[in-house]
Amino acid sequence: MLYRERVPARQAGAELVLLHGWGATSDCWRSALPLLRQHFNVTLIDLPGHGASRDHNADLDAFIDQLMQQMPARAVYLGWSLGGMLATSIAARYPERVAALITVASNASFVEREDWQAAMPLKTFHDFVARFEANPARGLKRFDLLQNAASASQLGNASIQRALLEWLRQMDNRAALRGLQCPALLLFGAEDALVPQACVANVNALNPSLKTRLLAGGGHRLFESSTENFWREVIGFCREHALLSETTEHHLDKRRVAHSFSKAAKSYDSVADLQRRVADTLATRLADVECGVALDLGCGTGYSLPRLSGCAQRVIAMDLAEGMLTYARSLEGRDAQGWVCGDAEDLPLADDSVDQVFSSLAVQWCENIAAVFAEAYRVMRPGGEMLVSTLGPDTLFELREAGRAADNSTHVNRFLARDELERGIALSGLTLVAWQEAQEILEYQHLRELMGELKNLGAHNVNSDRAGGLMGKQALRRFMTAYESYRNERGLLPASYQVWYLHLKKKSDSNG
CA angle 166, 169, 175 (to 5 degrees): 125
Q: SS3 letters for 287-309?
A: CCCCEEEEEEECCCCCCCHHHHH
Out of 46, 55, 192, 355, the active site residue is: 192
> What letters, b where the CB count within 10 A reaches 16 and e where it falls short, cover 95-109?
eebbbbbbbbbbbbb
Is 126 assigned a catalytic role?
no
Contacts of 199 (CB under 8 A, 6+ apart): 107, 108, 118, 119, 188
Rounded-to-integer distance, Cα 80 and Cα 7, Å: 19
Residue at 335: amino acid letter: D
Rounded-to-integer distance, Cα 41 and Cα 14, Å: 6
Query: Is the distance from CB of 94 to CB of 68 less than 8 angstroms?
Result: yes
Out of 81, 109, 153, 359, the active site residue is: 81
Give the H/E segment covering residue 341.
Answer: strand 338-341
Q: Where are the beta strands (DSSP E) in 445-512?
A: 493-505
Query: Is the distance from CB of 390 to CB of 307 less than 8 angstroms?
Result: no
Query: Is the distance from CB of 399 to CB of 415 less than 8 angstroms?
Result: no
| 226 closest CA partner among 257, 192, 179, 249 | 192
Is 81 assigned a catalytic role?
yes
Contacts of 404 (CB under 8 A, 6+ apart): none
Out of 20, 39, 50, 220, the active site residue is: 220
DSSP H helix total and E strand total for the chain: 20, 14
Query: Is the distance from CB of 388 to CB of 504 less than 8 angstroms?
Result: yes
- Residues linked to residue 435 through DSSP beta bridges, in sequence order: 502
Rounded-to-integer distance, Cα 180 and Cα 100, Å: 10
Is 419 assigned a catalytic role?
no
Contacts of 335 (CB under 8 A, 6+ apart): 305, 306, 309, 315
Rounded-to-integer distance, Cα 415 and Cα 303, Å: 23
Residue at 458: amino acid letter: G
Catalytic residues, by residue number, are 81, 192, 220
